[in-house]
Amino acid sequence: MSELRQDPTTKSWVILAPERAKRPQPKHRVRPADELPGWDSSCPFCPGNEELTPPEVFRLPVSNQGAPWEVRVVPNRFAALTPGENGDIVEEARLFRKMDGIGAHEVIIETPLHNMPMALMSYEQVEKVLIAYQERYNALKKEKYLKFITIFKNHGWASGTSLVHPHSQIVATPIVAPSYHRQFDIAHEYYIDRGRCLYCDLLAGELGAEERSPLPVRVTGQSSFQPDG
């Protein structure tokens, strides 16, 4: 099992997951989408290879009556975290804290098409991906031991993604990153100050604006999803 360890200098928690080293690594630069086939027999996310992934936890369309899937969500085979209840923090020595690497780590397979990046998808398909995000977010939110859910997407060779088939990931952890405590505090202050929700105001402002203003990309490589033009 992986482990969560706290850095005593930043109070940040990191996931130590030696299992992750076993996941497939790209041998060479990933080719651009227009050079990729629509279906790859060796790809675990392509239709026909469903048995290469753990059983799905969600799919669209929802009914299983022979309709081919359009979006699938499966647990990550090389999960950084595994489901569990023991969220006890262990004080190892003065200042050092750790806990079992419990949580959820899932993959959203965004399309049956191997070479269809989100940037080229129809709006209908993007909507299905967002529905899958929402479904899984709400399902994981019900697990009492999970305190924080992140949805992210690595795209392209430089991001370190091990599979080119368009996919996103969900990680749910029993701890909250310290940087988010600050975001909560700011949103809370905003509410006390103005009696309104900061995020609803941001969204309303974005929807009313002529141009979108992306939030700055954080140094960790995370970026916020913003509606496009």
- 199 is a contact residue toward Zn ion (CB under 5 A): yes
45 binds Zn ion per the rule CB under 5 A: yes
191 binds Zn ion (CB under 5 A): no
- Yes or no: say if 84 and 76 are a contact pair by the CB < 8 Å rule: no
CA angle in degrees (0–180, nearest 5) for 52-159-108: 40
Among 4, 17, 36, 46, the residue binding Zn ion under the rule CB under 5 A is 46
Instruction: Tell me whether residue 105 or residue 114 sits nearer to Zn ion (CB atom).
Output: 114
Question: 128-167 mask for Zn ion (x: CB under 5 A)?
Answer: -------------------------------------x--
Q: Is residue 155 within 8 Å of residue 127, measured between CB atoms?
A: no
| Minimum distance from residue 194 beta carbon to Zn ion (Å) | 12
> Comparing C-alpha atoms, which of 6, 132, 150 is closest to residue 71?
132
Select from 28, 36, 31 the least CA-distant residue to 115.
36
**Does the footprint of Zn ion cover residue 197 (CB under 5 A)?**
yes
The CA distance from 198 to 180, in Å, is 14
193, two tokens: 């100050």
Report, in Å, the least distance between residue 173 CB and Zn ion: 23
**227: preceding bond cis by omega (within 30 degrees):** no
Looking at the Cβ atoms of 114 and 128, the one nearer to Zn ion is 114
List of residues contacting Zn ion (CB under 5 A): 40, 43, 45-46, 114, 165, 197, 199-200
